[in-house]
Structure 1
C-alpha cells in the first residue's frame, strides 16, 4: 500500500515548486515595477519623452534684399506669405462631404492623398502655396473639422531677373545658391524656432496636445546691395542689345565705383529668372565677372604702360623707335594692323594698340640693356602685375566662387622672353573682368586699390570701403596715364566726350584658347572694352565683354558700341556729373 502513496506525494511536491516559482516571479515583477515607477521614475519618463516627443524646426523669415535707386533703398527680394493646407483625418467626421466641398473649391486630390484621408492619417498635405485670398476662400467654403493651414514663406523678386547672378536663388531646402543668397546665407537665414511636440509612431506631429512648447524664430538680417537699380537696368539692356547686334554668344558688363570699390552694376548674358531657376541652364547661374577668366588682350596695355612709366622706362611725352615686328626667342611679335617702322610718340602704343610697342617697353623695365629682354625685365613686369595690380589673386569680393586667374612666373622654362612679351599685350595671362576693372580703378582713382564689394549693409551694420593697397603708383605716373588716356579718348571715342568729364578706355580682341590643342580657336575671339568716366567728384570704371561677336575687330566693333551706349546712359542719368 505504501507504494501506492508515492505518486500523490510527487505531485504535491511539483505543485509546491510551481507555486514557489510563481511567487518568485510575481515578487520580481513587483520589485521591478517599484524600481521603474518609484526609484527610476524620472529617468524612464525622460526616455519615454525621447521616443514620443520630437523637436521640430520652425523656419525663420529670411532677410530681405534691397538695392539703391538714387539715394533711396528699394526692395529687390522680399518674402511673400503662403500657406500649406493639410488635414488631420482623425478629426474628419464626414469624409464624403468634405471631399465634395473640396472638389467644388477646385482642390483636386490624387490617389495618395485620398488614401491618406481614408486611412485616417494624421497629416495629409492637400495643397501648397496657398495665397491669403485663396485661404480665405477655402475657409469660407468649408464647414468641416480636420482642415488646417500652416504658414510658409517664399521669395519674390520684385524686379524679375534683374541682377540674377548677383542675387542667386534658394534651392529646395531653402539654402542660398550662387550670388549673395549663398555668400550671406547665414546672415539671411536667421535662427529657426522650435516646436516640441508629441508624435505618433511614424514621427507625424500630433499637433493638438497641450504640452507643445514654442520657441519663436529670429528672422534673418536684411541686406542692402551696392547695386544702382536704374544703372543695372541700363547695362543689362545695352549688353543684350550689343550682343544681338553683333551676333555674339553672350557677355558680361559691370560698373565699378573707383573711389570706393562698390559694384554699382554687374550683368551677365544669358541670364535667368531666380523665381524659375530650374528652367535655366546651369551655365546661366555663373557670374562670369568673378567666376570665369579670359585673356585680357590689348586692354592689358594700359597696365603695361603704367608699369613702364612708373619704372622710369619711358616718359609720357617721349618718342621711341617702333619696328615693323620684333623677334623674341625666335618667334615674331607683330601688330594686328600693319604699321610702318619708325619713331613714334609713346601715346601711339595705346592709341594704335601696338604689340611691338609694349614689347619695347618690356625691354626697358630692368636695369640691363634696353635692346634685349632678360630676367630682370620679366621680374619687374611680374611684380607690378601681381603686387601692384593684384592679378592672379582673388579680389576678395563678397560673392561666391571667385577665381584668381594666372600669371606665368618670370623664370618660366619655356621661351620666357616671348611669353612675357605676349603678356604685355594680354596673351598668355588670364584675369577675371572684375580683376581688370579693379586694376583700372586703382590707376584712375589716384592710386588706391579698393576691395570690390556688392553689399553695403548687413542688418544695422553699414559696410565701409576697404583700401587694400595705397599709392600703388607714383602721383606723376597717374598724371601721365590720364594724359595719355585723354588722348586715346579724343582719338577713338569722340562721340562720348563731355565738358569737364574724362571718358576714355581701351579695347581688346582676345583669342579663345583651344584646350585640346593648346593653341587658339581659328577665327574666334572675345571682344573687351575697359575704360573710365571721371569728373571732379566721381570716377566710374565700365567694363564690357562680348563673346565671339561676328565681326572683324572683336574689341572695337564687338564690345565698344555697347560700352559707349552704357557711358551715354550713365551721363544722362546723372551718375557722373561735372
Structure 2
C-alpha cells in the first residue's frame, strides 16, 4: 500500500514539474509575442514615416529636369533664340573604386588634362559627395563617341555610359541661329538657362522652362519598373516686332557708318510711322550670344534704350511736328531758334 502511494506521489510530482515547465514556456512565448507586438506598434506608429522614406530612398530616384525654354521669334516667325536638348556628364564618386583610372579615362575621352578631373573626383569622394559635374551640355554626336570611349564591356549597368560611377543628365542649351543679329535686343542666357540680358532677361518669367520632377522606382538590379512625373505651367514663346531683313540692313549700314566716321560706337532705330512698332534696333559694336563670354560686357548693353542722352535741339522737331498736327502753325511759317530757324 505504501509503495502504491509513493508511486502515485511520484507521478503527481512529475506531472506538476511538466506542467510548471509548460507554463514557463507559455509565459516566455507570451512575453516574446508581447515584445514583438510592442516593437511593431512602435515601428508602425512612431517610426512609420521615417521607415517609409528610407524604403523610398532605396528604390526611388528623383530626377529634376526642365522643359525647353520658350523661343524668341521676329515678326515673320524666324527663330532668333531657341533651345535644343543636350546632355551633361556627371559622376557619383561613391560608385567609383579607383578615381585615378576613371579620371584618366574621362580626360582621354574629353581630350582635356586629367589633373583637374582627378582633383575634383578625389575631393568629392573624400567629402562624401554623390554628385559632381564632369562635362556640361554636349551634343548628341559627341555623347555617342564618349559612350564608346568609356564603355566597359564586362560591366553590368542599366544606363550609359557603361562605366562605373558615370551617368548622363539631360539638359538644354540656348542657340541663336543668326549669331550677332539683334544680339543687344535678344540678349542671352547663362549656363543655368536663366536670362542674363535683353529680352531673355526681361521676359524671363514667360520664357523660363517648367521644372519637371520625375520619380523612378527601381528593383534591386537597378531596372526601372515604375515612373511618374509632375510638371508646372509650360513656358511661353515671345514674338518681337523686329524684322529680320530690316534689322540686317540697318546693322550693315550702322557698321559701315561707324567705321567711316572712325567712331567708337553707334545706334540706329527704325520705327513704323503708322503704328510706332520697332522694326529694327541696332547697336555697334555687337557680340555673338552663342559665345557671349568672348566679348566685353560693355557690348551687351542696348544703348538705344539703356543709355540716357539730352535731346537738345533735335527735340525742336518734335515740338514743331506737334504744333503742325494741332494746326497751330502753317507749314511755311518760320520761327526763330537762336542761331537758326525752323
TM-score computed with the length of structure 2 as normaliser: 0.69
- Pair 1:234–1:185, CA change in 2 (3 A): same
Post-superposition Cα deviations, 1:46-102, rounded to whole Å, max 9, x if no partner, equal: 67589998965322211122225xxx5322212233221223455557877655644
Q: 2:299 aligns with which of 284, 294, 299?
A: 284
Indicate conservation of the 8 Å contact 1:82/1:151, yes or no: yes
- Pair 1:196–1:334, CA change in 2 (3 A): same
Post-superposition Cα deviations, 1:434-483, rounded to whole Å, max 9, x if no partner, equal: xxxxxxxxxxxxxxxxxxxxxxxxxxxxxxxxxxxxxxxxxxxxxxxxxx
User: What is the alpha-carbon distance in structure 2 between the residues aligned to residue 116 and residue 95 of structure 1?
Assistant: 10
- Pair 1:253–1:90, CA change in 2 (3 A): same
Q: 2:66 aligns with which of 59, 76, 99?
A: 59
Indicate conservation of the 8 Å contact 2:173/2:193, yes or no: no
Question: Aligned pair 1:166/2:185, yes or no?
Answer: yes
The answer to which structure has the higher helix fraction is 2
User: What is the alpha-carbon distance in structure 2 between the residues aligned to residue 47 and residue 95 of structure 1?
Assistant: 31
After TM superposition, where is structure 1 displaced by more than 6 Å over at least 4 residues in a row?
29-32, 49-54, 93-97, 207-212
TM-score computed with the length of structure 1 as normaliser: 0.43
User: What is the alpha-carbon distance in structure 2 between the residues aligned to residue 168 and residue 191 of structure 1?
Assistant: 21
User: What is the alpha-carbon distance in structure 1 between the residues aligned to residue 92 and residue 223 of structure 2?
Assistant: 10
Q: 1:74 aligns with which of 44, 60, 78?
A: 78
Q: 2:88 aligns with which of 84, 89, 94?
A: 84
Question: Aligned pair 1:36/2:42, yes or no?
Answer: yes
Counterpart of 2:318 in structure 1 is 303
Counterpart of 1:112 in structure 2 is 119
Q: How does 1:464-503 map to 2 (within 5 A)?
A: none
Indicate conservation of the 8 Å contact 2:99/2:122, yes or no: no
- Tell me the CA shift for residue 264 of structure 1: 1.0
Structure 2 segments unaligned to the other structure (5+ residues):
1-31, 153-162
Indicate conservation of the 8 Å contact 2:94/2:125, yes or no: no
Q: Whose RCO is larger (CA < 8 A, sep 6+)?
A: 2
User: What is the alpha-carbon distance in structure 2 between the residues aligned to residue 191 and residue 309 of structure 1?
Assistant: 52
User: What is the alpha-carbon distance in structure 1 between the residues aligned to residue 194 and residue 63 of structure 2?
Assistant: 18
User: What is the alpha-carbon distance in structure 1 between the residues aligned to residue 325 and residue 212 of structure 2?
Assistant: 59
Question: Aligned pair 1:139/2:169, yes or no?
Answer: no
Q: How does 1:213-228 map to 2 (within 5 A)?
A: 213-215=228-230, 219-228=234-243
Counterpart of 1:238 in structure 2 is 253
Question: Aligned pair 1:176/2:180, yes or no?
Answer: no
- Tell me the CA shift for residue 142 of structure 1: 3.0
Structure 1 segments unaligned to the other structure (5+ residues):
1-25, 199-206, 323-332, 337-348, 351-578
Q: Secondary structure at the match of 1:294?
A: coil
Q: Secondary structure at the match of 1:73?
A: coil
- Tell me the CA shift for residue 223 of structure 1: 2.4
User: What is the alpha-carbon distance in structure 2 between the residues aligned to residue 124 and residue 208 of structure 1?
Assistant: 23
Counterpart of 2:159 in structure 1 is none
Counterpart of 2:213 in structure 1 is 194
Post-superposition Cα deviations, 1:334-362, rounded to whole Å, max 9, x if no partner, equal: 316xxxxxxxxxxxx33xxxxxxxxxxxx
User: What is the alpha-carbon distance in structure 1 between the residues aligned to residue 321 and residue 187 of structure 2?
Assistant: 37
Indicate conservation of the 8 Å contact 2:72/2:238, yes or no: yes
Indicate conservation of the 8 Å contact 2:68/2:85, yes or no: no
User: What is the alpha-carbon distance in structure 2 between the residues aligned to residue 47 and residue 86 of structure 1?
Assistant: 25
Indicate conservation of the 8 Å contact 2:105/2:150, yes or no: yes
Q: 1:130 aligns with which of 138, 141, 147?
A: 138
Q: Secondary structure at the match of 2:242?
A: strand
Q: Tell me how many residue pairs correspond in the alignment.
A: 290
CA RMSD of aligned residues (A): 3.7
Q: Secondary structure at the match of 2:241?
A: strand
